[in-house]
A and B are shown apart, each in its own frame.
Chain A
Amino acid sequence: MRMSEQESITTHQAVVIVANYILGVGILTLPRSAAEQVKTPDIWLSIIIGGLIAMLAGLIIVKLSQKFPGMTFYDYSQQIVGKWIGCILNLIVIGYFISMASVMLRAMAEVNTLFLLEETPRWAMIIAFMWVGIYLVVGGLSAITRMFEIIFPITVIIFVLIAVMSLKIFDINNLRPVLGLGIAPVLNGVKTTALSFSGFEIMLLIVASMQNPKTAQKAVLIGIGIPLLFYVTTALMVIGALTIEGVTSLTWPTITLIKSFEFPGILFERYESLLLVIWMMQIFTTFVITHYSAAMGMARSMRKDIRPFLYVLMPVIYIVAMLPKNINDLFHFSDSIGKLAFVMFVILPIVLLGIAKLRGVQT
C-alpha cells in the first residue's frame, strides 16, 4: 500500500510551486526598484511586460525539459553538452540556488530586525528558520509541494484583504497619466521587473516529476501569471497611495504602504503584521525550494541519496547569508543573482535547446 516516497506532481501543484517560488522578496521591494528605473507611474506596465518576458523564458525552459522526460536539468545538461561542461553548468545552477536561498534568509532577517524584532540577533532568526526548513525538506518534494499548497491560499486571501484595505488611501491621480512620457521609460524598467520573476527556472527540475509533463506549459504560464497579478496589484496600490516620488526613497515601500493606513475599531489597527506574515511564509517557500533544488543538484550529479546533501548545504547557505555586510550589499548581491539568473535561465536554455536540436540528443 505504501505509496512511493515521491508522488508525482499534478499540474495544479506545479502552478503553485512556480507561483510561490516567484513571490519572494520582490513583493516588498519591486515597487521601489521599478520606480527608480521607470520614474513614471507606468511601472505596472513594465511589470506586465516583464512578466510576459518571463513567461516566454518559462516556455523555453519547459520545452527543453520536455525533450528529456523524467530527467531534471542536472541529468540532461551532461547529455547535451558533454560531461565536463555539463558538470560546470550544474555547479553554477547549484551555486545560484544556494545564493538565492541565502538572499531569502538574509532579507527575511533584515525585514524582521527592522519591523518586528529589533534586538533579536539575526543568527537566531535565521537558524530557527533553517531548522523549520530542514524539517520540511527532508520530507521530500511531495511534502514540500503539499506545504506550498497550504500556504498559497492563505497568501492569496490575506493579500487580497490587504489590497482592498489599502484602497483607503488610494488615489487614482497618482497613477495618471498612463504612458505620459511614452513607452521608453516603461521599457527602461523591464529589465528590473523581468528579473523579479526569476523563479520559473524551477521548471527545469519539476517537469521531470510531473504527472503529466504535457501540461507544463500551462503550469508555467499560470504560475507566472499569478505573481504577475500580485506584483501589478502591489505596484498599483503602492504608487496609487504613495506616488512615484514617495516610493523611490522608501526601502520597503509595500510595508510603508500598509503602515500608512489605520482601521481603528477592528481587532487590529495596523495590518503590516498580516503582510509580514504572508511574506515570511512566501520567503519560507522560496527558501525551502531553493535549498531542496541545490541539494537535489548535488545528489543528482553524484547519483546519491539527497538527505546528506540537505544537511551539508545548511552551513553553506548560512555562511553565504551572513556575507553581505549591510543592506546595500544585500540588494547588490540579489541584483547580481538576478543577472546571473537571466543568463542561466533565459539565454542558456535557448542555447541548450539549439545544441540539443543540432546534435539530435535524445533520451
Chain B
Amino acid sequence: MNPQWLKSRTLWICGMLTILILLTGCWSRREIEDLGITIGAAVDIGKETPVEQEFEEQGGDYSKQNALTLTYQMVQPGQSSTSDKGGGEKNYRNISVTGDSLYEDTREIALMQARPIFGQHYKVIVISDKVARKFNMRLLFDFFIREQEFRPSCLVLICKGEARSALDQKDKSEFPSMRLLSITNNRYRSTRILKPMSLSKLLPEINSSSSFLLQNVITAEGEVKFAGAAVIYGKTGKLIGFLNEEDLESINWMTAKVKGGVLKSYDSHTGQPILYEITSMKSKIRPHIEGNRISFDVEIESDGRLGEQWENGNGFDNRFIRRVEEETVKQVRKRIDKMLHRIQKEYRADVIGLDQYVRIYYPRTWEKIKKDWDDKFANASIRYRVKVKIKEFGTTSIKVH
C-alpha cells in the first residue's frame, strides 16, 4: 500500500463520515399522515366550549380574555380507508379553541391533538357577523394573511349567526368546507352569489380602506345557504350591515359579474311570473366629475332566453318577446333602485367598486377625494340604462288557452 493511497483513503473515510453526520438532517420532514390537514376555519365571538370549561376547572388555563373562539375543521385520516366500499362517511372534526390571539389558539390545538393544525389546505374562512361588527378586518385577517401556511386562495365568508355552525353538516358525504367552496362555483346558475373573495383579493381592499362586500352564509339545522352579502365599511373596516339576495343580485347586474342565472319578473297585465335566464351580460361604467358633482353612467346589456312563463304568450311572436324584455328591464330597474337607495343612503358605502372607475378615469381627482370616497359616493348620482335581449325561448313555447 503506497502512502499516498493510504492518505487519500483516510481522507475519503473522513469525508464520508462528515457527510454521513450531515445526512442526519431531515429537519423539516413531516409525514403527511401525521398532519392535521385542516380545510376550514371559523371565527366566533369568544365563548368557551363545555370541554374548555371543564379543562379550565381542572387547571388547564392560561392568561387570556376569551375574545374570540376559533374553530378548525380537521380531516381525520385513516378511517375512510377501512370503509372504502365507496360513499362511506367522511370524517372530519371541528375543534374550537377560545382565546385572544388566533395564532395562539392555533398552537393551543397542538396541546390537544395528536396531529397539529396544518394550514396549507385551507379552503374557507368563515367569520361570524358579530366578530366582523366588532373587529377591524385588517386586524382580524392579519394572522391569516401574514402566515404563509394559509393559502391566499382561501375563500372568505361571513356567517350571520354562529360561524361554527357553517362548518357543520348533516349529510356526511362531503366536507362542509368543501361544500361552501363548491357553492361558489355555482355562479353560472345563480346571480345571487358574490364573486368569490379570496384572501389575496381581500388584502388590497383592506389596504386601500375601501368598502367591499363579503358573501354571507346562513345556517339552519346543518344546512347552509348563501344569502346576500355583508357590507364592510372601508374606514372602520367593520361590518355595518347586510344586503339581501336581491340587492346582491342587483350589484352583480350593475358590475356584470354574472355568469348565469335567472330573473323573475311579473307581467304587469296579468301579474303572472315570467322568468328570464341570463346567458351573457355586459356593463359599461363611465364616471363624470364636474366640479364637485360626481355622477356615473352605467349601461347594462344582457342577452338571454325566456326560461319559464306562467301566462299566455307566444314565444314565436316578437311582440310577446318585447313585452317580456320590457318587464324584465322594469324589474331590474326596480331592484337596482332599491339597492342603490340602500347602499347610498342607508350604508353610505361604495360596495359596487365604482371607486375603481374614478381612479381610472380621473386619477388626479381621485388622489384628492379617495380619503372620503364613501361619502362622495353617497351623494353621487347614478344613471343607468338596462337593455335586455331575449334571443330564444327554449324548445317550446306553450300557448295556454
Contact = CB atoms under 8 A, between A and B. Distances in A.
Q: Do A and B touch directly, given a CB cutoff of 8 Å in the complex? A: yes
B208 A245 contact: yes
B150 to A, nearest CB: 9
B235 interface: no
Contact of A248 (B22, B201, B207): B207
Given A117-B28, A119-B27, A119-B28, A246 B204 contact: yes
A178 B28 CA distance: 45
A242 B205 CA distance: 10
B113 interface: no
Given A119-B28, A180-B360, A181-B367, A261 B153 contact: yes
A245 B204 contact: yes
B152 A245 contact: no
Contacts of B366: 180
A131 to B, nearest CB: 10
B200 A249 contact: no
Contact of A117 (B27, B198, B203): B27
B204 A173 contact: no
A336 interface: no
Interface string A233-251: 0000000011111101110
A169 B195 CA distance: 12
* Central interface residue in A116, A242, A260, by most chain B CB within 10 Å: A260
Interface in A95-137: 114-121, 124, 127
B148 interface: yes
A256 interface: yes
B64 interface: no
A177 interface: yes
B27 A260 contact: no
Interface residues of B, number: 24
B204 A180 contact: no
A218 interface: no
Given A115-B148, A180-B363, A181-B364, A121 B203 contact: no
Q: Is the interface of B mostly helix, strand, loop or mixed?
A: helix
B207 A245 contact: yes
B359 A124 contact: no
A262 interface: yes
B12 interface: no
Contact of B153 (A120, A181, A245, A260): A260
A40 interface: yes
Given A40-B363, A119-B28, A177-B361, A246 B200 contact: yes
Contact of B200 (A114, A117, A119, A242): A242
Contacts of B198: 260
A259 B151 contact: yes
Nearest to A247: B204
Nearest to B356: A173
B348 to A, nearest CB: 22
Given A246-B204, A259-B151, A124 B25 contact: yes
Contacts of B204: 242-246
Given A120-B27, A124-B25, A259 B367 contact: no
A146 interface: no
A114 B27 contact: no
B27 A121 contact: yes
A256 B201 CA distance: 11
A235 to B, nearest CB: 15
B27 A124 contact: yes
A172 B360 CA distance: 11
Nearest to A117: B28
A176 interface: yes
A177 B366 CA distance: 11
Contacts of B22: 124, 127
A2 B203 CA distance: 60
A270 interface: yes
Contacts of B363: 40, 177, 180-181
Contacts of A114: 148
Nearest to A255: B148
Given A180-B360, A181-B364, A246 B203 contact: yes
Interface string B138-163: 00000000001001110000000000
Contacts of A260: 152-153, 198-201
Given A114-B148, A118-B28, A260-B153, A180 B364 contact: yes
A321 B152 CA distance: 30
Contacts of B153: 259-262, 270
A177 B152 contact: no
* Central interface residue in A115, A116, A250, by most chain B CB within 10 Å: A250
Interface in B242-278: none
12 contacts: A114-B148, A118-B28, A119-B27, A121-B27, A124-B27, A180-B360, A241-B200, A242-B203, A243-B208, A246-B204, A261-B153, A262-B151
Given A180-B360, A180-B364, A261-B153, 8 more contacts: A40-B363, A115-B148, A120-B25, A241-B200, A243-B204, A248-B207, A257-B200, A259-B151
Interface of A: 40, 114-121, 124, 127, 169, 173, 176-177, 180-181, 241-246, 248-250, 256-257, 259-262, 270
Interface of B: 22, 25, 27-28, 148, 151-153, 198-201, 203-204, 207-208, 356, 359-361, 363-364, 366-367
Closest 9 CB pairs of A and B: A180-B363, A246-B204, A260-B200, A243-B204, A245-B208, A120-B27, A245-B207, A117-B28, A176-B360
